[in-house]
Structure 1
Amino acid sequence: MEHLTLHTDDGHTLAARCYRPADASVAARRVVILAPALGVPQSFYERYARWLSGHGCVVYTLDWRGMGASAPADLRRYRAKLIDWPLHDAPAIMQCAVSRHPGLPISWFGHSMGGILYGLMPKLPQIDHVVTLGSGSGHVSHLARPLRYGMLLFWHVIVPLSVARHGYFAGKRINAVADLPRGIVGQWKRWCASPDFCCVEGPHVREAYAAVRQPITAVLFTDDKMAHRRGVEAIHRLYTGTSVRYLTLHPKDVGAASVGHFDFFHTRTGPKGWAHSLSWLGVSPSARAAS
């Protein structure tokens, strides 16, 4: 595993990682960019990324600005917005992958927010497979019960109190998502307050999603309480210029007792479950290594 430092077009630095096939005889056939969920560090995906690299893929992960290893020591004075992730951070990891592997096709695998924001990212021709997992609108009408009631408490009590006290959202203190800058959690709150979600930013958002031409595979698990089908469909209906294939899975379909919003990438799912993702990502069977 290689540690990388990326530089964005607006002057920020990001921590990223690259996983290559360990066996030198396994030729890399595809790049996979694995984009994290909001508040989830890239280290969470390491086991899956290492496994995927054993199947002929070069895998890139990153920490979005303001979180994980890309966060400054003091978040109180750090200025960032959620919209910076697709407009500035994603292009940095995309251009890194293209420059290092100019002849390889690229798959984008976005988990939760990493998939939600894909429509706002640059249109990169080398990306020929797009997979989203658990990527749905956070508006209360799009959430499963009883989560929607808990999220009302989260947005109207927990978040304001945390930001007022610490100057940022101290998620680690309440065992929620990671610590996040106030600008990022503030914009997330604004999106979740509207049934239009990210489209509250203006008509250019719908135009950006409509301009996507790569077919999209939207994966959702039936026990995912954070990404209900209503919310997943609400986001993916924005892709009016391409086709969206919805893949609804039960945990038992990947050999797991439960998956929820996070555990597809956990060893509880493991190689037998992860093998399902090879076809989603366009990984050729001939590139597969032994599990």
Structure 2
Amino acid sequence: MEADEERGLAEAALDDVFIDDITFPAADGYQLGATLFLPRGTKRHAVLINSATATPRRIYKGFAGYLARRGCAVLTYDYRGTGDSRQKAMVGYNQLKSLDGFKASMSDWAALDAAAAVAWMRERYKPLPLNYVGHSFGGQALGLLANNNEISRALFVAAEAGYWKLMASPERYRVYAMLNFVGLPLTKMLGYAPGWSGLGQDLPKGVFEQWVGWVMSERYLFTDPKLPGLSNFANYKGALRALCLSDDPWATRPAVGLLCSGFSSIEPEILTITPADVGAAKIGHFGFFRPEHRDTLWRGAAEWIEAAEWRPPLWPTLP
């Protein structure tokens, strides 16, 4: 009952926001499913929300709508091979098998998808500060983007360098076993990583295998010899605030700190938040985006994002 009431409140809060499901091209022309949230009044900021691994963009709908009500033009999108950016091989082809043979990697998600989303928002809302929200992998992706210098402010939510030994115990052992003894064998057999194995969403084979390689490496993606985008971490010079949720077993403080250490040209701000700080029983890896945190976590995040410098545009922006 409480969950139904929360959903109802979240939907009601979106009544005065324009919402448009769209597609836009990735850097290689691949069409990505996305949703644009627009305020009915003046647009003061542009915000790009970048998803966690195996997480559909609908998870961010409430938060995106909240930001739009406060004057932000907000874009959410699905990485290739997931959500509405998953294309079937042919009409009527079995959905579960459609990712078999689909070529994609996490580095593609960053270099081709996230970078294109930044460019799309920057071109569309030139007069506005462009801000970046990165959840888990979405935060990791910022450092890999060749155009991350377009971002004014980046807010990380549970974004970490997810080496398995930096996870809380006993969760670290469950993750190790699930990835190596369940995920990898299934992926090799099926040609993709099935969501029903515990991932949440199906993942392309290349995405899952690259992710497992990072999770098993002591410095996560920072020691991947096949990741040329690593040099882009040093190019980011905007503000960076990373939220570490104390009851998140994956994005622990050491894991968040390791990711932030890659941004060598700035001094990231890391804030640890406990459930008690916001009057909640739990938050975890995904809880920040629940509508119950509208007046606490969401408001604090929005106020920080809105501190990015804004000047009234000299020409109209696109809708």
- 1:11 corresponds to 2:29: yes
- Kindly tell me: are residues 153 and 146 of structure 1, through their superposed partners in 2, closer, same or farther at Cα, counting changes over 3 Å? same
- Kindly tell me: are residues 106 and 255 of structure 1, through their superposed partners in 2, closer, same or farther at Cα, counting changes over 3 Å? farther
1:166 shift after superposition: 2.3
- 1:95 corresponds to 2:119: yes
Q: Percent of counterpart pairs with the same letter? A: 28
1:78 — aligned with what? 102
The 8 Å contact of residues 149 and 235 in structure 2, kept in 1 or not, is answered as no
1:30 — aligned with what? 45
1:206 shift after superposition: 4.3
1:212 — aligned with what? 236
2:59 — aligned with what? 44
1:141 to 165, 170, 174: 165
- 1:120 corresponds to 2:144: yes
Letter in structure 1 aligned against 2:257: E
Distance in structure 2 (CA, Å) of the matches to 1:267 and 1:119: 29
1:289 — aligned with what? none
Distance in structure 2 (CA, Å) of the matches to 1:244 and 1:134: 14
Distance in structure 2 (CA, Å) of the matches to 1:231 and 1:164: 28
Secondary structure of 1:177 counterpart: coil
Structure 2: where are the runs of 5+ without partners? 1-18, 89-97, 311-319
Residues 1-291 of structure 1: pairs in structure 2 closer than 5 A: 1-21=19-39, 24=40, 26-73=41-88, 74-171=98-195, 173-202=196-225, 204-283=228-307
The 8 Å contact of residues 214 and 242 in structure 1, kept in 2 or not, is answered as yes
Secondary structure of 1:269 counterpart: helix
Distance in structure 2 (CA, Å) of the matches to 1:193 and 1:272: 35
Secondary structure of 2:152 counterpart: strand
1:196 shift after superposition: 2.0
Letter in structure 2 aligned against 1:241: S
Structure 1: where are the runs of 5+ without partners? 287-291
1:91 shift after superposition: 1.9
The 8 Å contact of residues 111 and 229 in structure 2, kept in 1 or not, is answered as no
Query: Which one is further off, 154-163 or 201-210?
Result: 201-210
Query: Which one is further off, 45-54 or 263-272?
Result: 263-272
Secondary structure of 1:183 counterpart: helix
Secondary structure of 1:275 counterpart: helix
1:124 shift after superposition: 4.4
The 8 Å contact of residues 34 and 109 in structure 1, kept in 2 or not, is answered as yes
Letter in structure 1 aligned against 2:208: V
Q: TM-score, normalised by structure 1?
A: 0.91
CA deviations on 1:183-225 (whole Å, 9 max, x unpaired) are 0000001111111211232384543212221121111111111
Secondary structure of 2:184 counterpart: helix
1:110 shift after superposition: 0.2
1:177 shift after superposition: 2.5
CA RMSD of aligned residues (A): 1.9
The total of aligned residue pairs comes to 282
Q: TM-score, normalised by structure 2?
A: 0.84
